[in-house]
Structure 1
């Protein structure tokens, strides 16, 4: 019915010029209008049915184009200045309305304000306090590209039901709607399936399941989860098409975006769709909430942003946040500044999804200056994906492209490439965790790169080894590295309970365990003269960055039972380096 009403309105407006004074007689006007109305109605109904244009936008939204075409055709048939004036007037009204209601020339500050207020007094020092140090058990090591490749190989292998032995012949992996989600305290990729075409839709009773890929463990096998047959999906047909289902159930006057396939705590799947309204003419979409659709029954539940269930991770779409931040970067000082002075203009880099220590989901967006030649990061914006609230951290670091290039260049001889940057607090430093892939797209390890100094980089095929190597690099003496929070540096005197020596990429490493402290300490033997001679029972002095990590690399190490005489120059250099690190 909604398609017919839209078509009816467009068609009625389309024949208005016929009834204005012109070359047609009164009798001919009625006949001509009737002859035009029928094809106008058919064309507009078909276009409305096939494209499902949102009626949330002013002046009929995209359907205004048909109105202009129909009225122009009617005016040419009637051939009068007054009739031709109708489409001309509509075009002028549309253009003026779009200009004055939507253009950033008049609404630059409104666009800049869509992201909300962001504190200007943040700094990288605050960042290292606010962003909890990384938990090695929950690092997202598997990039989306690898997850998709794994899912493709598992599509048929995991089907246990004989009737689903040819799942891959009827259903495609829906790579467009892959969703990263934290389910039962585990980062997972939830990957839906969808129909390969109308034939598969007609000859099957529904979509048989979905695929789960572990985002933390590259070695974990993907799991094909067989569920009751799901009818509703983005690529389904007729009334089961997800967008059409929403459109015909009252959402025709809303902007629908970000179709996410998410699981609740019991692993029941739902489609979660963000619902918006334009607030600045034809733009400035404001998020109202989400429509949660059961893919089995089609039942729709709308939840305002304040009522969204805990298991729903994303309410604000990534592209919406990127648009907000882009507008803030462009128009924070007004439209004129964006085209003339370019003072403090900023540009967004690729947005990534991350999970904080509080368990909440965040979009992390690096910002750089609008100058294309600038290779430095100026801000890092954390945006809560459920509330849309953003926090700004002013940083001095390297852009994402340069970080990826640094890893790829270093590993080029192995034909490896860095992809997907995730920003984390590692040992008090803002660190880019970069998944490394082979030329065939397979996972080959992870690299840790200091955002403020990209030359500080550690790579290993084993993530925990890469983390230890990176911590060791950060703790090395040398004026280029210093921990941001001196207050988080801790010095203790203790007795070694147990120890172990192991060979790492950075040389011999001493691993220490102390009964009274719930951490393992890692000492690079090449840095500290007494480390290679330590043994259980020795009294040692350790300085380290206090973090909840299971393993911590030390910044300073002294074994009081080992007396090694250093030259005056060596002593002077060691003291200087030690003071610099602290």
Structure 2
């Protein structure tokens, strides 16, 4: 009896230690939980069998052979069957979870996207609000800010940057985390704050202190984020995708997605979130419909992309060997904001893939509502290559593109970086025709170059400038031409409007090269597009030639 108590006690202690360290979900409806229970049942059955059926025999010694102790195990077949039963059940459930028996569930999990028109659905771009800082640059800028505090830099490391909308401002938030076990021991009350990097302004980087990050992935024991959430709020609930977000008051939270499986161990579906105050440890669980407005994302990105790919892979069932109408996501995706909501945006390309996209899909990261834009064009990768080709003599690398609406034109926007990862220029590539590329050292210059390239390109979609237009007439006070390396632009000042400088692309009119000071002209431009008194002309006419 004492021997059994010791054996079972040691086994139970080891299992308990495993549960504490790994913090698995203790629900057999999840694969991890089912595997755990199968292993525990098998261990106890085998331990009981060893204790009951093992025998030790002592063979008599002889001159050729000394005393020999031989353990013998003689398990009845029923023990083996009982030990194997949980594993057989696990395998059967795994097979039943496969796409072979659930093809329609795999195909339809995302739901049917609503087809929309990109030009009317996506807000026209505000050049002051284009996110120019990507995750790699955000990490560099945060690291630079951390380096300004040498004493702090030796104590902590940067966590994963998360893009989010905080009080109407698009930012990257980077938590400070413990750099090791001994740093955690000496800072049990948490790391001292986080860094906020503006997504639209590279010079706007702030270190925010006053909010200790006590619960985090790099902490130990019950301050470890996963372990604390598991034992505090989700012992029998699936949790995944921890993102660091701030509420509108700047209080840091960890947002963990809760999920369930729709078919045995497959088709995970987000059900809500657990909001964990990173300082106090207060945790509250919410269903999707009740999530606070400041929470930007509930749906894990890998859940969404997998569901999009499943919809494209099984569009005509599992045995579609001809790949008829199959599609998949393009290589990469990006988080975008439209009308204050957070979306995952990615291109769709045919299976067998090339540089062409057959459409684009945008999925709400809270509700999973999806919008489909059926428009042919370049994939994100093709757009990057086109932008890099424009500046190949500089060897800049393009960031992963953001798709924006430039005066009704679906357009890829990306930054061009040098080998040090610093932004040197910007690029815009037309989605429909990725040979139409605009570059510049400022966003406004890039927009102007892009619009001019659109007008010059006979093979591109027509440029529809929907902005309000105004026409001015007057006499030319000054005129000069400037060549930027790819095209000629005339700069004109009128006597009647001396505070306005008009930029007139040479291709707008053959009369430009013949225009002189004192000539009467008519210039049409877009209202609201000025920058520092500089206006881009939409049309030009020298009235002197018309009168003669």
TM over 0.5: same fold?
yes
**Counterpart of 1:336 in 2: which secondary structure?**
coil
How far apart are residue 326 of structure 1 and its match? 1.5
**1:475–1:555 Cα contact (<8 Å) kept:** no
**Counterpart of 2:313 in 1: which secondary structure?**
helix
**Counterpart of 1:235 in 2: which secondary structure?**
coil
Match of 1:70 among 43, 51, 56: 43
User: Which structure carries more relative contact order (alpha carbon 8 Å, separation 6+)?
Assistant: 1
Q: Specify the alignment match of 2:334 in structure 1.
A: 352
Return the alpha-carbon distance in structure 2 between the equivalents of residues 534 and 128 of structure 1: 40
How far apart are residue 201 of structure 1 and its match? 0.9
Q: 1:131-146 maps to which residues of 2 (within 5 A)?
A: 131-146=122-137
How far apart are residue 493 of structure 1 and its match? 4.8
Q: Specify the alignment match of 1:289 in structure 2.
A: 272
Unmatched runs of 5 consecutive residues or more in structure 1: 1-29, 160-164, 567-582
1:453 has 2:433 as partner: yes
How far apart are residue 469 of structure 1 and its match? 0.6
Q: How much is the aligned-residue C-alpha RMSD, in angstroms?
A: 3.3
Q: TM-score normalised to the size of structure 1?
A: 0.80
Q: Specify the alignment match of 1:222 in structure 2.
A: 205
1:155 has 2:146 as partner: yes
Q: 1:290-439 maps to which residues of 2 (within 5 A)?
A: 290-337=273-320, 340-349=321-330, 350-356=332-338, 358-372=339-353, 374-439=354-419
Q: Specify the alignment match of 1:81 in structure 2.
A: 77
**2:211–2:251 Cα contact (<8 Å) kept:** no
**1:54–1:61 Cα contact (<8 Å) kept:** no
**1:293–1:300 Cα contact (<8 Å) kept:** yes
1:107 has 2:84 as partner: no
**Which stretch of the first structure deviates more once superposed, 34-43 or 83-92?**
34-43
**1:181–1:262 Cα contact (<8 Å) kept:** yes
**1:180–1:187 Cα contact (<8 Å) kept:** yes
Offset from partner CA, 1:104-160 (integer Å, 9 cap, x none): 1111211222212213x54xxx21122121110100111211111111121141x4x
1:213 has 2:194 as partner: no
How far apart are residue 562 of structure 1 and its match? 4.0
More helix per residue: 1 or 2?
1
Return the alpha-carbon distance in structure 1 between the equivalents of residues 392 and 544 of structure 2: 43
Quick one: structure 1 residues 554 and 475, their matched pair in 2 at CA, closer, same or farther if it must change by over 3 Å? farther
Return the alpha-carbon distance in structure 2 between the equivalents of residues 272 and 148 of structure 1: 20
Quick one: structure 1 residues 536 and 117, their matched pair in 2 at CA, closer, same or farther if it must change by over 3 Å? farther
Q: Is the radius of gyration larger for structure 1 or structure 2? A: 2
How far apart are residue 283 of structure 1 and its match? 2.0
Q: Specify the alignment match of 1:559 in structure 2.
A: 541
**Counterpart of 1:236 in 2: which secondary structure?**
coil
**Counterpart of 2:209 in 1: which secondary structure?**
strand
Return the alpha-carbon distance in structure 1 between the equivalents of residues 167 and 409 of structure 2: 28
Unmatched runs of 5 consecutive residues or more in structure 2: 54-74
Match of 1:49 among 14, 17, 20: 20
Match of 1:199 among 178, 182, 195: 182
Offset from partner CA, 1:251-306 (integer Å, 9 cap, x none): 12222122111122222222222111122211212212111111111111222212
Q: Specify the alignment match of 2:68 in structure 1.
A: none
Return the alpha-carbon distance in structure 2 between the equivalents of residues 142 and 216 of structure 1: 6
Q: Specify the alignment match of 1:169 in structure 2.
A: 154
Return the alpha-carbon distance in structure 2 between the equivalents of residues 361 and 502 of structure 1: 44
Return the alpha-carbon distance in structure 2 between the equivalents of residues 489 and 106 of structure 1: 54
1:117 has 2:102 as partner: no
Match of 1:61 among 34, 41, 46: 34
Offset from partner CA, 1:476-514 (integer Å, 9 cap, x none): 2x421233769x58776554799997847332245799x
**Counterpart of 2:192 in 1: which secondary structure?**
strand
Q: Specify the alignment match of 1:37 in structure 2.
A: 8
How far apart are residue 76 of structure 1 and its match? 7.1
Return the alpha-carbon distance in structure 2 between the equivalents of residues 129 and 521 of structure 1: 30
**Counterpart of 2:425 in 1: which secondary structure?**
strand
Return the alpha-carbon distance in structure 2 between the equivalents of residues 402 and 65 of structure 1: 48
Quick one: structure 1 residues 490 and 173, their matched pair in 2 at CA, closer, same or farther if it must change by over 3 Å? closer
1:188 has 2:171 as partner: yes
**1:496–1:512 Cα contact (<8 Å) kept:** no
Return the alpha-carbon distance in structure 1 between the equivalents of residues 23 and 479 of structure 2: 67
